[in-house]
């Protein structure tokens, strides 16, 4: 748990995908998940968060994924309810995320017909 908190703070992320050792997407953990775990665990302080495995932290939301060959409509449907969409390759290996902001910037450029944003 402590590593997740420190990485999120360092990179200024509010949520991060969790990937297993084989590269498969497992889940997404958010700041809210971490805060609720701390609130609901008597005696848990930042100093002892290293004793809590990430698997013991309940998630309040399940980020859905898309495959690399997904169509834009499927991507947009997920981006409406998720800040980012994890992308998997043909072998279910996590290859990255597409942020809602990137989708909005892309379509804004298309609609406005310019490259500034």
Residue pLDDT, tens place only, 69-110: 999 999 999 999 999 999 999 999 999 999 999 999 988 888
pTM over 0.95: no
Boundaries of CATH 3.90.1280 in the chain? 1-62
Q: What is the CATH number of domain 1-62?
A: 3.90.1280
Q: Which residues contact 12 (CB under 8 A, 6 or more apart)?
A: none
Which fold would CATH assign to domain 64-117? CBS-domain (3.10.580)
Contact between residue 87 and residue 79 where contact means Cβ atoms under 8 Å apart: no
- Taking the CA of residue 58 as centre, how many other CA atoms within 13 Å lie in the half-sphere pointing to its CB? 7
pLDDT digit string, tens, across residues 14-64: 999 999 999 999 999 999 999 999 999 999 999 999 999 999 999 999 999
Boundaries of CATH 3.10.580.10 in the chain? 64-117
Give rounded-to-5 percent helix, strand, coil for the chain. Answer: 45, 20, 35
């Amino acid at each position: 748990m402590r590593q997740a908190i420190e990485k999120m703070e360092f990179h200024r992320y509010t949520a991060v995908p969790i990937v297993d050792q084989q590269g498969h997407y497992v889940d997404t953990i958010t700041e809210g998940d971490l805060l609720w775990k701390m609130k609901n665990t008597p005696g848990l302080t930042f100093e002892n968060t290293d004793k809590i495995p990430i698997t013991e932290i309940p998630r309040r939301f399940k980020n859905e994924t898309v495959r690399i060959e997904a169509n834009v409509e499927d991507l947009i449907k997920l981006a409406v309810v998720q800040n980012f969409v994890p992308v998997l390759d043909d072998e279910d290996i996590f290859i990255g995320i597409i942020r809602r902001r990137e989708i909005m910037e892309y379509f804004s450029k298309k609609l406005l017909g310019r490259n500034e944003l």
